[in-house]
Structure 1
Amino acid sequence: MKKILQDKSFRLSALLTTIFIGTGIVFLFLGLTDYSYVLFVLLPIVLGIAIGSMKFRKYALISAIVTTILLLILIYIPGLSGVICIVMAVALVAPLIALGYVIMRLIKRYSQIKDTNKLSVLVIPLIPFLIAAPVEHFFKVDKEEIIEVSSSRIYDYTPEQVFEAIKSVDTLDAPKPFLLKLDLPIPIKCVLEKEEVGAKRICYFKGGRLSNADFGGGTITERVTAYEPGKLLKMDVIDYTLVGRNWLGFKEAIYYFEAVAGGKCKMTRVTTYTSILSPRFYWEPMERLGVEQEHEYVLSNLELDLERKFKKK
């Protein structure tokens, strides 16, 4: 290990990675780039190209990936990102760094471009990111994707009873799905101020097991737009303060109640959220899974609440 750390290519690659990835992080803080293809695809590829241009490359690629991971962990420490997001970002970025490296090596194989260890030359591939990031940020119109996720469960209670149990929840204490145990914000209670259209319903969250401090905690404030006991509870999200997830937004929460055979109720929970993360094909499946697992937690807790409130003899 000591030999690797002392290797010139390892140290130069670590410096390059810090410059490239650090620039991306700074641009995010300054509002000069989005959580987009430019950040997650273009930046790691040009970093790989820069590393592939180095004269000595023995441990360069390893150094780039290790340094990237360390930099992303630094984002986690103050609660600016979560474990799941960091793992997914590494899984996306690391192969693209390697791709950029391979691209540059192939170019060099069939051209007369010379290897170099001059930092002033090695940072030239960063220029496309420096141009593309603010251009995309300031000129791209449709940044948000609107996604709807629904989950259903049948309860051995009437629609009116299920409605009564879900409209306001004192304590959520059901077994937690995996992602909630790991890092996702965990709902702990929801309070409905009045039983009428226009009333506010506030849901409180705490951070998951691996969340540092209050990361992932906060509130979601909803305004009731439809209140039909035993049929429909519909709310617009008017404010949310979930810490560390500024790439996600929330628009609407709906509960549908449907009577089914045997005096039972089928309840469907619908969450409409927004996301500015791209590429969508990569991030959306995990987003949906996260929402579905929060649904699972709420629906499982509802089963416990129904048993406590309306236990059948």
Structure 2
Amino acid sequence: MLEGLEEAGDCPECGLPYHLLYASMHTLRLPLVRWRLYLPGLAMSVGMSLALAAVMVFGMGNWGAALWLGVPFAMGSMLGYTVRAGKLLMMFLLLSALVCLIFGLMTLQLAGLFCGMALVGVFLGPAMVGLASGIAFRRALKRTAFSQRDHLPILAVCAGVLVWGVIEGRPRPQPPETVATTRIIAAPVAVCWDHLMFYEEVTHRPPWILRVGLARPLGTIGSSDRPGDVKVCLYNKGTITKRASRVVRGEELAFDVIQQRIGYERDVRLRSGSFVFAPAGPGRTLLTLETTYEPLLSPRWCWKPFERLAVHTLHGHVLEGMRIAAETAQVNDSGTVAAVAKDADR
């Protein structure tokens, strides 16, 4: 009980205005501190979900649907079951929990920055379904005399996800995926071939998705002029080693990836790639850049669109670098020829 208060003012405990002479401003109810009401359920749902993910990855070796769909479903279910709030606030809490879960996975090195951005799209659907299920289950059980309703449903959801992970097991081999990107370059095939470059050799600024989501290229060591030549591509997180398998000047450069150590070994395994050149009219070249990789994440319908987006973006960056170099060289050569012809006319 507070004593020595003035007749009117602001309460030193809750900050609300009061007047001692007006009974309507008196209350015996404690003020509602909302973060104390919502934080326990939010923290528990995120913490339990991170624990589930750690057990499934480090304990079971699971990188499949149980991890990427079951864990966010469990998180949403626990949040909906333990927190009671309005629709907008529940959605805000769900998005906050998703962000915390993704940052937790990145801290555990179970996801990189690009995968973290992709996980927002992957996690949102299962988490919303789980949230609706948790709310419905809470409303159904609150009318019963079930003595274990405070904790047993939460444990049942977690156990169900773990059983799902055990049944699914370790990731099974997936068929290779091939992504090809084409570009027309306003330069002859010979000029384009002379300015062939790998991703690690492109000099102009890459798109933001490559800058923030993938390892940063530093350069290359070695050559790829003849079959059997080895080129080591340097990154800030490691290296990729490529060996030329087919070299036909002006037609094709194909290579195999014989070593990959850049931090994505649990997500994707690069296999091979190629540059294919074809005439596309006078002074024009159709250039096709192709990458083949072995996907390691499932379900494929979740991850395939994000993988293709990353590869197409990388291809576009490489092809743009070759276009700039080849067309610049073509313009310079044309200018030199014109200058020589003008001098000859004199």
TM-score, scaled to structure 1: 0.80
Instruction: State whether residues 205 and 218 of structure 1, in contact with CA within 8 Å, keep that contact through their aligned partners in structure 2.
Output: yes
**Match for 1:203: what amino acid?**
C
- The answer to whether the aligner puts 1:185 opposite 2:215 as a matched pair is yes
Q: Distance in 2 between matches of 1:99 and 1:202?
A: 46
Deviation at 1:226, TM superposition (A): 0.6
Residue range with higher mean Cα deviation, 62-71 or 299-308: 62-71
Find the residue that maps to 1:262 and give its secondary structure. Answer: coil
State the match for 1:262 in structure 2: 282
1:202 equivalent among 223, 226, 232: 232
Shift of 1:120: 5.2
Would the aligned equivalents of 1:80 and 1:244 in 2 still touch at CA under 8 Å? no
Residue type matched to 1:14 in 2? A
In structure 2, relative to structure 1, the CA distance for the partners of 1:116 and 1:266 (3 Å cut) is same
In 2: Cα distance, 1:115 partner to 1:53 partner: 16
Task: Give the alignment of 1:12-23 within 5 angstroms.
Answer: 12-23=41-52
* Pair 1:273-2:303 in alignment: no
Distance 1:78 1:124, change over 3 A: closer
* Cα distance change on mapping 1:188 and 1:294 into 2, 3 Å: farther
230, 233, 247: which one aligns with 2:267: 247
Q: Which runs of 5+ in 2 are unaligned?
A: 1-31, 336-346
> Which of 174, 181, 188 pairs up with 2:204?
174
Aligned to 1:166, the other structure's residue is in SS state coil
Residue 128 of structure 1: aligned partner: 160
Question: Displacement of 1:125 after TM fit?
Answer: 1.2
CA separation of 1:5 and 1:109: change in aligned 2, threshold 3 A: closer
Measure, in 2, the Cα distance between the counterparts of 1:233 and 1:278.
Answer: 31
Q: Which moved more, 1:269-278 or 1:57-66?
A: 57-66
Q: Structure 1's 27 and 162: CA in aligned 2 closer, same or farther, altered over 3 A?
A: same
Matching residue's letter, 1:93: F
**Which is higher, the Rg of structure 1 or of structure 2?**
2
Amino acid at match of 2:48: I
**Residues of 2 paired with 1:228 and 1:244: CA distance?**
31
State whether structure 2 residue 66 is matched by structure 1 residue 38. yes
1:6 deviates by 1.2
Residue 283 in structure 1 maps to residue 303 in structure 2: yes
After the TM superposition, which residues 53-202 of structure 1 pair with which residues of structure 2 at under 5 Å, given as runs? 53-54=81-82, 57-58=84-85, 63=93, 65-77=95-107, 80-107=110-137, 114=146, 118-119=150-151, 121-138=153-170, 141-142=172-173, 144-166=174-196, 171-193=201-223, 195-202=225-232
Deviations 1:182-207 (A, max 9, x none): 3233444344435221111222334x
Unmatched 5+ residue regions in structure 1? 207-216
How far apart are residue 145 of structure 1 and its match?
Answer: 4.5
Q: Who is 1:10 aligned against?
A: 39
CA apart distance, 1:46: 3.1
1:100 Cα shift? Answer: 1.8
- Asked which structure has the greater RCO (Cα within 8 Å, sep 6+), the reply is 1
Q: 1:65 and 1:168, CA in 2 relative to 1: closer, same or farther beyond 3 A?
A: closer
What one-letter code is carried by the residue in structure 2 that aligns with 1:32?
A: G
Q: Which residue of 2 aligns with 1:218?
A: 238
Alignment partner of 1:28 out of 53, 57, 71: 57
Give distance in 2, aligned partners of 1:194 and 1:107: 62
1:236 partner SS: strand
Distance apart, 1:107 and its partner CA = 4.9
Look up the SS of the partner of 2:320 in the other structure.
helix
Matched pairs, number: 297
Give 1:303 deviation, angstroms. Answer: 2.3
Verify the 8 A CA contact 2:226 2:247 in the aligned structure 1.
Answer: yes
Alpha carbons of structure 1 residues 21 and 149: separation in structure 2 relative to 1, 3 Å? same
Matches of 2:210 and 2:50, distance apart in 1: 29
Tell me how far 1:23 sits from its aligned partner.
1.8
DSSP-derived class of the 1:161 partner: helix
Partner of 2:27: none
SS at match of 2:266: coil
Distance in 2 separating the partners of 1:243 and 1:97: 28
Q: Is the 8 A contact 1:234 1:254 kept in 2?
A: yes
Task: Note the C-alpha offset of 1:110.
Answer: 6.1
Letter in 1 for 2:299: P
Mean Cα displacement is larger for which, 237-246 or 106-115? 106-115
- Percent pairwise identity: 19
TM-score (normalised: structure 2): 0.73
Distance 1:285 1:219 in 2: 25
Q: Give distance in 2, aligned partners of 1:236 and 1:218.
A: 18
